[in-house]
Amino acid sequence: MSIDFANELNSAQLEAIMHQGSPALVIAGAGSGKTRTIVYRLARLVQDGIPPENILLLTFTRKAAQEMLLRAGTILGRNLSGTSGGTFHSFAFGVLRRNARCLGFDTGFTLLDRADSENVVKEVKDSLALGKGDRSYPKKNTLLDMITKSRNKERGIDSIVENEAFHLSSYAEDFQSIADGYTTFKQRHALLDYDDLLFRFEELLLNEPSLLEELRTRYRHIMVDEYQDTNKVQARLVRRLSGECGDVVAVGDDAQSIYAFRGADVANILDFPKIFKDAKLIRLEKNYRSTQAILNLTNHILAGAQTKFDKHLYSDRQNGALPRVVHPLSDQTQAKQVVEEVIKLAKKYPLHEIAVLFRAGYQSYPLEVALSRVGIGYQKYGGLRFHEAAHIKDVLAYLRLLRNPADLVAWRRVLAPIKGVGPKTADRIANARLNGDEKYMAKTLKRFPDLKQLFNHLDSLSHATRPGQALEQIAAFYQPMLAELYPDDYPKRQAGLDQLSQIAINYSTIDDFLADLTLDGDQEEEVRKENALVLSTVHSSKGLEWKAVLIIDLVEDRFPSKRALARPEDLDEERRLLYVACTRAKDSLTLFVPATIYNRFNAVSEPATPSPFLAELPADCVEIWREGYASGLNKDRAQARNNDNSALESLNANITADDPSPSPTDPSRLGMCRHKIFGQGKIVAHIPPNKYRINFPGFGLKVIVADYLEML
């Protein structure tokens, strides 16, 4: 069966799928049929006689790769399972595992997930006696952030701190010592973190020319999806694997770059033609996903960016409803409004074609409560992961020890439930067992009789090679501890363990099972609900699409996130994030702007400023609705957007007047101020309780928390 490609694709897409034999960069706007293009190119290559084994497809999630391979297989009517597909990290892991000896890991190695890494970092910090008794000392999360940012951006920690966390500059030296200690710890216990996978892979390719040759011979055709979100080392890996003029097709969209915080470098896209000789450039600009009404809005969002994008999406779908901006009275009523909106939309679309998107995982909590109350099933993407739950990690620790007896992180977990054994004793026991210190072991076994059982259990496990089988034994051993450790919700956790066993059955090696869990958190989707509303962070929504999209909490501090705005260019990333969110919608787009946000710190609702990205939008590209105190939602007939701010400010004024705390709008303070990043600026307005709107020459209007300002 031959496929009529010309009939299935537009001319730019066709050009992309027919390209072969040299590097090409496909700049694919949102909804421009990027996935379709990759899928058809896969199919085209195989149809033209390329063995699937010679193709490498690198994507952002493993699921994306699987779906593309499945679709290509369906088109061709044959199985493409021979194709290598996955994330950079999982591909790197596979190669590293097969060559563990070249890395100096003779007894295997194990992976650290984010939480593991944080705990190691904290341990190192404590062992160096840094920040003792200092409550305001940077937390493990911040410490690891600095360390991995430094590695991903390939700049010194001091430079990262100076640029992105200037308030921590006095700790820069500490951070360096902690980073060094962290590296040493990982080496000593045969542990790799996410970043190590990429860098050790690169090292391996440099040190083992025969391996590089082998990989090059095998992977003659490389495709890389979401190229705008690759970092420097990933770009070098592609270059090294493909060679300067190999058959490599990178697909991406500079306007959708949303992982700069992780070291992603848009320059990779821009430099592609420099790094790869005679790279062909192909642009996909026609949008097949959204209505023109939605694209009008997304084009406006992008137009406000400081970094200009050469992008203007267009669609044939002219008859679309205007995107709606809904102003609920508070974030609590917002949840109610979203539920009502979902109920209405559900009459038109299946639930899984409707998504609610948000900036950060916690923002969906009130909504989750409201949904449960009315019995609407939902599936959440992003936020806490299945395998991060304590009981899952407990059980996995036994498996880790089987593969890497030096894994101290796992030892601590396994030993922790034994009464009388704390972190110190756990370390000692682990070391004694590793070094065969019989004397200490005998002594300790006498003191902690439970240890005997644990060791017997571990010994019996060592015969198990398949993860399903091993997990069965572990679950039996862990059972009594589960009930003891988690008396409140232990049935629920038991169900989680059963689910884990189900997943494990599909794997033939423990290494792959463990790696997939840490490298690809959404395993639980295998038991995904059939028809459920989708809740997702914007980051996790990348590459997906729905008939109807609702975005919540579009207010200053939340979207854009106040945590994300350390440097001027960070605002653009937040803007691109909103762009990604809005371009997920095919037919219907609704933006929620609550007038107040509940503040847990002082347990009151505080007035919120609408997201600056919305304030810029021309009045005719959206329809505005407001929630009244008594009357529910009303359409804003006048569309008097300019009154918006004044109404809000009078609301603010009222609240401030009732507030006994000091610092209301004081005209004498509305002078000049200085900000570490934006420089000197004129204060335009005070936004109670603690923010100012300031005009910074060159940067425009910004809302800044008073703590970050020096008043002049």
Instruction: Tell me which residues touch DNA (CB under 7 A).
Output: 60-61, 87-90, 114, 122, 132-136, 139-141, 145, 148, 194-195, 261-262, 359-362, 365, 381-383, 385, 419-426, 519-521, 537, 539-540, 561, 563-564, 600-601
Closest residue by Cα to residue 517 from 362, 364, 359, 395:
395
**Cβ nearer to DNA, comparing 292 with 425:** 425
Pick from 544, 546, 592: nearest CA to 340: 592
At its nearest, how many Å lie between DNA and the CB of residue 670?
A: 28
List of residues 6+ apart from 503 with CB closer than 8 A: 513, 517, 523, 526
CB of 196 to DNA, least distance (A): 10
Q: To the nearest whole angstrom, how small is the minimum distance from the Cβ of residue 168 to DNA?
A: 12
Omega cis (within 30) before 449:
no
Nearer to DNA, 352 or 539 (CB): 539
Please, what sign has the CA dihedral across residues 665, 669, 670, 673? negative
Nearer to DNA, 437 or 623 (CB): 437
Residue 252: helix, strand or coil by DSSP?
Answer: strand
**What's the min distance (Å) between Cβ of 676 and DNA?**
16
**Closest by alpha carbon to 27, among 252, 242, 219?**
252
Asked if 285 and 255 count as a contact pair (C-beta separation under 8 A), the reply is no
C-beta of 455 vs 598, nearer to DNA? 598
Nearer to DNA, 87 or 291 (CB): 87
**In terms of CB distance, is 343 or 442 closer to DNA?**
442
CB of 3 to DNA, least distance (A): 31
> How far, in Å, CA of 143 to CA of 139, rounded?
6
Of the pair 602, 631, the CB lying nearest DNA is at 602
Closest CB to DNA among 603 and 657? 603
Residue 274 beta carbon to DNA: minimum distance, rounded to whole angstroms: 26
Strand, coil or helix: what is 694? Answer: strand
Of residues 227, 208, 187, the one with CA closest to residue 95: 208
CA angle 559, 563, 565 (to 5 degrees): 80
CA neighbor of 341 nearest in space, from 112, 103, 625, 108: 625
Output 148 or 315, the one with its CB closest to DNA. Answer: 148
Cβ proximity to DNA: between 332 and 561 the closer is: 561
d(CA 43, CA 53): 13
132 or 308: CB nearest DNA: 132
Whole-number Å distance between alpha carbons of 237 and 231: 10
Provide the 3-class DSSP secondary structure of residue 463.
coil
How many Å apart are CA 109 and CA 130, to the nearest integer? Answer: 29
Of the candidates 620, 619, 536, 624, the one whose C-alpha atom is nearest the C-alpha of residue 580 is 536
User: What would the DSSP string read from start to end of 22-73?
Assistant: S-EEEEE-TTSSHHHHHHHHHHHHHHTT--GGGEEEE-SSHHHHHHHHHHHH
Going from the C-alpha of 204 to that of each of 101, 213, 238, 315, the distances in angstroms are: 11, 12, 14, 46
Q: Toward DNA, which CB reaches closer, 489 or 616? A: 489
Residue 519 is inside which H or E element, if any?
A: helix 510-519
DSSP code for 540: G
Rounded least distance, CB 201 to DNA, Å: 13
Q: How far is the CB of 288 from DNA (least distance, A)?
A: 26
What is the closest distance, in whole angstroms, from the C-beta atom of residue 93 to DNA in the complex? 9
Chain center to CA of 603: 30
CB-based contact 337:303 (threshold 8 Å): no
Q: Are 269 and 227 in contact (CB under 8 A)?
A: yes
For 281, the enclosing helix (H) or strand (E) is: strand 280-284
| Nearest approach, Cβ of residue 608 and DNA (Å) | 15
CB 578 within 8 A of CB 617: no
User: Which residues, in sequence order, are CB contacts of 340 under 8 Å at separation 6+?
Assistant: none
In the complex with DNA, the residue whose CB is nearer, 258 or 497, is 258
Omega prior to 697 cis, within 30 of 0: no
Nearest approach in angstroms of CB 486 to DNA is 11
What is the nearest approach in angstroms of DNA to the Cβ of residue 571?
12
- What distance in Å separates the CA atoms of residue 223 and residue 251, rounded to the nearest whole number? 8
Of 293 and 367, CB closest to DNA? 367
According to DSSP, the residues that pair with 679 across neighbouring strands are 675
**Nearer to DNA by C-beta: 276 or 381?**
381
Residue with Cβ nearer DNA (480 or 618): 480
Q: How far is the CB of 420 from DNA (least distance, A)?
A: 5
Whole-angstrom Cα Rg for the chain? 27
Shortest distance (Å) from residue 261 CB to DNA:
4
Considering only CA atoms, which of 298, 278, 500, 275 is closest in space to residue 398?
Answer: 500
Least CB distance to DNA at residue 235 (A): 15
How does DSSP classify residue 414? H
Q: Kindly tell me which of 233 and 622 has the beta carbon lying closer to DNA.
A: 233
Give Cα separations from 287 to 28, 291, 300 (angstroms). 9, 9, 16
Minimum distance between the CB of residue 560 and DNA, rounded to whole angstroms? 9
At 54, phi and psi to the nearest 5?
Answer: -90, 5
CB of 114 to DNA, least distance (A): 5
How would you write 370-408 as a 3-class SS string?
HHHHHCCCEEEECCCCHHHCHHHHHHHHHHHHHHCCCCH
